[in-house]
Amino acid sequence: MDADPRSQVEAPVRGALVGVMGRGLALVATVSLLAMWPIAAQLEAAVRDAIAGVVFAVLVGYGAWILIAQRLHGHAPEEAREVAWDRAREIDGDDAALGLLVAGWVPVGLLLALGLLLWPHFTDPNPALAAAWVVLGLPPFVAAWLFVTTTWLDACRDDLARAEQESDIRLRSYWANVGR
């Protein structure tokens, strides 16, 4: 280990917190930019529909990517997942608070971006088209939002729990080799 063993032990948790914040902000930014594009550019209805399809694919794809990653890497033990945020707070209280804030606001940001994306469809001048979007378009987007939100929050806890396990391994390795 390095001259500063504490930073080496804490590095996985700090990295996991940065990863949680970065991925969350990137996801919300992507969906928000796609949602604002049709409004800012005054795009036609067909293009708005295509962009809505892209946003739906991004949400489902991101959720599926998280599930595949969890299948490949496995879940952290449930005990570690339950205390993941508390243990991260012990290592770096400020980053853990910011990471938890970002993790909690990702579902809210996605919901607001989806509302911004779907609002022009719901207020279409053609009442039949607006009703079709409410009846046929809204349920898949709600399901995609629920899917990506639950997988997102689960992945945050998993990432932190795995990082804390790595931190524990590094700490034990350091103390096992102190005099060597």
Q: In this structure, is residue 125 part of a structural domain?
A: yes
Residue 11 lies in a domain: yes
Give residue 1's pLDDT band: very low, low, confident or very high (50, 70, 90): very low
Kindly state whether residue 117 falls inside one of the protein's structural domains.
yes
Query: For the residues 19-46, what does the mean pLDDT come to?
Result: 91
First-to-final CA distance of the chain: 11
In whole angstroms, how large is the CA radius of gyration of the chain? 21
| Most confidently predicted of 40-49, 103-112, 124-133, 158-167 | 103-112
Q: Containing domain of residue 106, as a range? A: 5-173
133 domain residue, yes or no: yes
Identify the burial level of 87 via C-beta atoms within 10 angstroms of its C-beta, where 0-12 means exposed, 13-18 middle and 19 or more buried.
middle
What's the Cα-to-Cα distance from 92 to each of 89, 97, 153, rounded to whole Å? Answer: 5, 9, 20
What's this model's pTM, rounded to 2 decimal places? 0.86
Residue written as token pair 């709600």: 142
Q: What single letter denotes the amino acid at residue 147? A: F
| Residue 179, domain member (yes or no) | no
Residue 180 lies in a domain: no
In a domain, 178, yes or no: no
Give 136-165 pLDDT, tens digit per residue: 989 999 999 999 999 999 999 999 999 988
Does residue 47 lie within any of the structural domains?
yes
Total of domains in the chain: 1
- Average model confidence (pLDDT) across the chain: 89
